[in-house]
Amino acid sequence: MHKRKSGILLHPTSLPSEYPVGDLGEKAYRFIDIISDSGFTLWQILPINPVNYVNSPYMSPSSSAFNELLIDPGELVSLGLIDRAPFLEKPVISNFTDYDRARRLKREMIRTAWERFDSDSPEYREFCRENSYLSDIGIFSHLLEEHRTDWSEWPAFSSYDNILELREKYRKEASIFMFGQYMVQNQWFRLKKYANEKGVEIIGDLPIYVDYNSFDVWSNKEIFRLSGRTGKPVEVSGVPPDYFSIDGQLWNNPVYRWFDGSKLNSRLMDWWCSRIGFLLKFVDIIRMDHFRGFSKYWAVRYGEETAKRGKWRRGPGASFFRHIFKKLGKINIIAEDLGIITRDVEKMRKEFDFPGMKILQFAFSDPRNPYLPSNYDTTNCVVYTGTHDNNTTLGWYSRDTDQGTRHFINEYHQGNINEENIAETLIYDALASTAKWAVIPVQDILSLDERHRMNIPSVAERNWAWKMEPGDLERIDKSLLRRMNICLNRLNVV
């Protein structure tokens, strides 16, 4: 029998902070204390890679580097590497991340700390030896900042083919980037160790695709479907039109060259093993985004304005996971299997015993809805009140549900459900369900409205910016949540 667990969904950038972005400092440790005291044993985060100027953790300049915005400035102060006053400016009280200010402050902090740091320390030299590839990512990041265009439009000298010359020219920039990675990764390792010692496992998130304007594509052009003449994608990713979108969703990531003849592309699989191996250093469990794309994926010709005119193409299927497990060993994976899922996708998920996902905000259309807890046909699933792409539960109930849905919610619960109790009601539904794991966004724990959602898909403004306000952590009702987790068999106290 699968052990029943529960957890909280919160990205570290959303932790409260006097700086313009959440970080890995004191509040992160306090968050772990609170969720542990509340009876939760899982902490789910979004991708931990650097973010581009859209600020999306799903569109990163590199899938094998850590987000330096998460560096705790307090540790740099305590080590004597920076002075606190020049960097703090005025304390931040907004519940939205100011990414532009965060970038400016953190880059200045890292540069100043690098100038004072003893780079001859044995621990640092060992980190540099084990992670030498980070220097090249640092060079790419600098070039990206310098040119502010797609890498295919950079001068010829900025091609990865000239990496030896680039390493010579940008040695300082590469060194500063390496130092920043050393600091933030070590801070995360200590935080993860603390969480694990408190009985909390961390669920990481692995997007299936990477951003075109990334080190991954710049340095590995042959594993993506790119034009040999222009370097632009031949085809890009998305999903076809469905009930929710008449135009489909055009994601615009380059798609992979999955096959070399009839065999899996060995160079691509080496890259995947490296990418997954990097994430496994930092998390205990991986949520595999867009799981169905490993069976078949929707490919759209580059330049199309919508995803309407695409084609289904064959993905690597179960062979992908067999190869990964052979190289890396068995991995705890959650399959993001939302949307229209075909039999081949379901067969692949069951072959490896991956739990799928259930979303309660999708559940209340009729008594046969498969997302209703009373209809779960397996315990091997993870139930969420909502995800990072959903409205908050209060926002969903107050803004996104019609009269018929509200009536069914009342009928289902045989009670008077309203804006005051809808979040707690769905939390109870999730914890009481037969799903082996239940994960609750912290916004629902706090019963926050639509102003506090993390992302609105296909909308560019203010996404990924929500941040907890000072005092929000202390508003979490640890006693109530712990009682619920114990009574609903999510926490074994024997």
Listed in sequence order, the residues at least 6 apart from 443 whose beta carbon sits closer than 8 Å to its beta carbon are 392, 393, 452, 453, 454, 466
- Taken in order 88, 90, 93, 94, the sign of the CA dihedral is negative
Q: Which of 53, 39, 45 is nearest to 22 (CA)?
A: 45
**Choice among 389, 411, 419, 474 that is catalytic:** 389
Listed in sequence order, the residues at least 6 apart from 44 whose beta carbon sits closer than 8 Å to its beta carbon are 7, 8, 9, 10, 202, 203, 205, 287, 439
Is 377 tagged catalytic? no
Is 68 tagged catalytic? no
Q: Which of 71, 55, 73 is nearest to 12 (CA)?
A: 71
For 487, list phi and psi in degrees, rounded to 5: -65, -30
Strands 201-206 and 263-264: unpaired
The tokens for 272 are 């995947």
Number of H helices, E strands in the chain: 17, 14
Three-point CA angle 171, 177, 178, nearest 5°: 85
Residue written as tokens 């990334």?
214
Residue 385 · residue 423 · CB < 8 Å: yes
Quote the CA–CA distance of 225 and 302 in Å, as a whole number.
10
The tokens for 426 are 């769905």
Residue 250 · residue 243 · CB < 8 Å: no
Quote the CA–CA distance of 58 and 389 in Å, as a whole number.
12
Quote the CA–CA distance of 96 and 262 in Å, as a whole number.
49
Q: Count CB neighbours of 369 within 10 A.
A: 14
Q: How far apart are the first and last CA of the chain?
A: 17
**Choice among 72, 136, 235, 336 that is catalytic:** 336
Going along 56-97, which residue ranges are E strands?
none
Is 23 tagged catalytic? no
Three-point CA angle 466, 12, 363, nearest 5°: 65
**Which run of H or of E encompasses 285?**
strand 285-288
Quote the CA–CA distance of 196 and 282 in Å, as a whole number.
11
**Choice among 98, 289, 450, 469 that is catalytic:** 289
With residues binned 3-state (H G I as helix, E B as strand, rest as coil), the percentages for the chain, rounded to 5, are: 45, 15, 45
Q: Which of 67, 3, 71, 93 is nearest to 41 (CA)?
A: 3
Active site residues: 289, 336, 389
